[in-house]
C-alpha cells in the first residue's frame, strides 16, 4: 500500500464560492447568452480593453465578466486575440493608448488592475501558467516549484536565503511544493531536470508551479497542447479538482472535446472581439461561432515564451514610457 498523497494546505472554505457544480450550472443557465453578459458573482470584470499591433487590432473587448467558481473556456480561431487578452489582464502587455471615451479598466476581486505590474497581478491572486522556457528546463522540478513561490507576498527566494526567518519559511515552502508535486504525480521527478519531462508532465508542472501562490484564479493557455492522449484524461481531472477545491479557472483551448467536457461557460473571441457566450452545448451550435471558425485565418501562434525574456519586459516598459510621453 502506498501512503495517501499529503493534503495540499487548504485555505479553508471560501465564502460565496459555488462548491456545488450543478447549482453553479443552474445559476449560469439563467445568464443571458450574449457577449458581455453580467454574471451573478464575477471574479473578473473587464471594460474597453484594446490592443493594436501596427494595423492589426489583436484585442477589442467592450465588456467581459468571468464567473467566480466556474471553469470558463475562451475559444476562437488562431489569431483571435486570446493569448494577447491573457497577456493584457495579467500585466505582461499593456493596452493601446486609450481612445476617445474608452478607458481600459479591469477589476479582479475588487482590485483595479489596469497598469499593475505582472508581479503585482500575481500577488492579487490571478496567476497564469507559463510554458517551460529553456532556462526553466535547465532547473530541477523542485527548483521550478520554489521559483513559483516567488509570487508569494513579501518573498524573494534568492535574496532571502540568509535571513533567520528564512529557514522556517523555506521549510514550509518546500513542504507545500512536495505536496503539490505529489498531487500532480510528479513527486518521483523532483530532482530531475524539468527539460527531461514529457509534454504532459510539463503541463502538470506548469500547473503545480502556478498553484504555489494559492491563486484565486488560474489561467491556462492551451493546457492540452503537446499532451499525449493517454494523459489528457488525468489533466482534465486535475483542472476539475482545482475548481472543486476553490480555484476559478479560465482557459484557452482548441480541443473542442475538452471544452465541451469540462467547461461551465464558454466565451468565443474572433478578430479581437467577444462574439458569443454561453454554456458549452449552446455556444458550439451558435451561428457566430460557426462563422468565426470558418472565417479563421491561421496566423502563427506566437506562444508565450517571449514573455519571460528580459528583453521583452524592457520592450513593454519602453512602449509604456513612449505612450506616456505621447499622452
Ligand atoms: N507581439 C506581437 N506583435 C505583433 N503582432 C502580434 C503580437 N502578438 C500578437 N499579434 C497579433 O495579434 C493577433 C492576435 O494574436 P494572439 O493573441 O496570439 O491570438 P490567439 O492566441 O487567439 O491565437 C494576431 O493577428 C497576431 O498575429
Ligand atoms: Mg494563443
Is the pLDDT at 38 greater than 90, yes or no? yes
> Where in the chain are the domains?
21-130+216-326
What letter would DSSP give residue 241? H
Measured in whole angstroms, the distance separating CA 37 from the mean position of its chain's CA atoms is 21
Q: Which residues surround ligand 2, an ion (CB under 5 A)?
A: 82-83, 301
Q: How far is it, in rounded angstroms, from Cα 59 to Cα 56?
A: 9
Is the pLDDT at 244 greater than 90, yes or no? yes
**Ligand 1 pocket residues where CB is under 6 Å:** 53, 56, 58, 76, 78-84, 299, 301-302
Evaluate whether 193 touches 138 at the Cβ level (below 8 Å).
yes
Going by pLDDT thresholds of 50, 70 and 90, the confidence category of residue 9 is: very low
Nearest CA to ligand 1 atom 7: 53
Is the pLDDT at 150 greater than 80, yes or no? no
Evaluate whether 113 touches 105 at the Cβ level (below 8 Å).
no
Q: How far is residue 242 from each of residues 71, 149, 209, 262, 277, measured CA to CA in Å?
A: 9, 18, 13, 12, 23
Is the pLDDT at 74 greater than 90, yes or no? yes
H or E, element range at 261? helix 256-262
What letter would DSSP give residue 299? P
Q: Give the pLDDT of residue 166.
A: 62
Ligand 1 mean position, distance from CA 85 (Å): 9
Tell the residue number behind the cell numbers 511544493, with chain if given: 177
Q: How far is it, in rounded angstroms, from Cα 327 to Cα 325?
A: 6
Q: Which long-range contacts (CB under 8 A, 24 or more apart) does 165-173 make?
A: 173/146, 173/149, 173/212
Higher pLDDT, 323 or 126: 126
Evaluate whether 44 touches 89 at the Cβ level (below 8 Å).
yes
What letter would DSSP give residue 18? -
Among 96-105, 138-147, 187-196, 311-320, whose mean pLDDT is lowest? 311-320
Ligand 1 mean position, distance from CA 272 (Å): 9
Hey, which bits of 155-294 come out as E strands?
217-221, 248-252, 265-270, 273-278
Q: Give the pLDDT of residue 14.
A: 86
Which atom of ligand 1 is closest in space to residue 86's alpha carbon?
17
Which string of DSSP letters, residue by residue, matches 128-154? E--PPPHHHHTSBHHHHHHHHGGGSTT
Going by pLDDT thresholds of 50, 70 and 90, the confidence category of residue 33 is: very high
Is the pLDDT at 111 greater than 60, yes or no? yes
What letter would DSSP give residue 99? B
* End-to-end CA, the chain: 66
Evaluate whether 231 touches 200 at the Cβ level (below 8 Å).
yes
Ligand 2 mean position, distance from CA 132 (Å): 16
Ligand 2 mean position, distance from CA 77 (Å): 9
pTM: 0.83
What cell was used for 185?
504525480
- Which ligand has its closest atom nearest to the C-alpha of 84? 1
What is the phi/psi pair of residue 281, to 5°?
Answer: -60, -40
Evaluate whether 177 touches 142 at the Cβ level (below 8 Å).
yes
Is the pLDDT at 163 greater than 70, yes or no? no
Q: How far is it, in rounded angstroms, from Cα 182 to Cα 188?
A: 8
Considering the domain 21-130+216-326 in this protein, what is its CATH number?
A: 3.40.50.300
What cell was used for 181?
508535486
Is the pLDDT at 280 greater than 70, yes or no? yes
Q: What percent of the chain has pLDDT over 90?
A: 48
Rounded to an integer, the average pLDDT of 125-147 is: 83
What cell was used for 92?
505582461
Nearest CA to ligand 1 atom 5: 53
- Rounded to the nearest integer, the mean pLDDT of the chain is 82
Among 190-204, 251-265, 279-293, whose mean pLDDT is lowest? 279-293
The CB density around residue 55, as the number of other CB atoms within 10 Å, is 5
Amino acid at each position: 500500500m502506498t501512503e495517501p498523497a499529503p493534503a495540499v494546505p487548504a485555505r479553508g472554505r471560501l465564502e460565496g464560492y459555488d462548491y456545488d457544480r450543478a447549482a453553479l450550472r443552474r445559476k449560469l443557465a439563467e445568464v443571458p447568452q450574449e457577449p458581455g453578459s453580467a454574471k451573478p458573482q464575477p471574479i473578473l470584470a473587464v471594460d474597453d480593453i484594446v490592443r493594436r499591433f501596427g494595423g492589426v487590432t489583436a484585442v477589442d473587448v467592450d465588456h467581459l465578466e468571468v464567473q467566480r467558481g466556474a471553469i470558463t473556456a475562451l475559444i476562437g480561431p488562431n489569431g483571435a486575440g486570446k493569448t494577447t487578452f491573457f497577456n493584457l489582464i495579467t500585466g505582461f502587455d499593456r493596452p493601446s493608448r486609450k481612445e476617445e471615451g474608452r478607458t481600459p479598466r479591469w477589476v479582479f476581486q475588487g482590485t483595479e488592475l489596469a497598469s499593475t505590474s505582472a508581479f503585482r497581478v500575481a500577488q492579487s491572486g490571478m496567476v497564469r501558467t507559463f510554458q517551460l522556457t529553456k532556462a526553466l528546463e535547465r532547473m530541477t522540478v523542485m527548483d521550478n516549484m520554489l521559483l513559483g513561490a516567488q509570487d508569494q507576498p513579501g518573498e524573494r527566494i534568492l535574496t532571502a536565503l540568509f535571513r533567520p526567518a528564512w529557514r522556517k519559511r523555506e521549510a514550509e515552502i518546500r513542504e507545500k511544493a512536495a505536496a503539490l508535486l505529489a498531487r500532480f504525480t510528479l513527486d518521483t521527478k523532483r530532482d530531475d531536470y524539468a527539460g527531461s519531462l514529457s509534454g504532459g508532465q510539463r503541463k502538470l508542472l506548469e500547473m503545480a508551479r502556478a498553484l504555489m501562490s494559492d491563486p484565486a484564479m488560474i489561467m491556462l493557455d492551451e493546457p492540452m497542447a503537446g499532451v499525449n492522449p493517454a494523459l489528457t484524461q488525468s489533466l482534465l481531472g486535475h483542472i476539475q479538482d482545482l475548481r472543486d477545491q476553490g480555484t476559478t479557472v479560465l482557459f484557452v483551448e482548441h480541443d473542442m472535446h475538452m471544452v465541451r467536457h469540462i467547461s461551465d461557460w464558454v466565451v468565443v473571441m474572433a478578430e479581437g472581439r467577444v462574439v458569443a457566450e454561453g454554456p458549452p452545448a449552446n455556444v458550439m451550435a451558435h451561428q457566430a461561432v460557426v462563422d468565426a471558425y470558418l472565417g479563421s485565418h491561421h496566423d502563427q501562434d506566437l506562444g508565450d515564451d517571449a514573455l519571460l525574456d528580459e528583453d521583452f519586459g524592457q520592450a513593454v516598459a519602453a512602449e509604456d514610457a513612449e505612450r506616456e510621453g505621447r499622452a
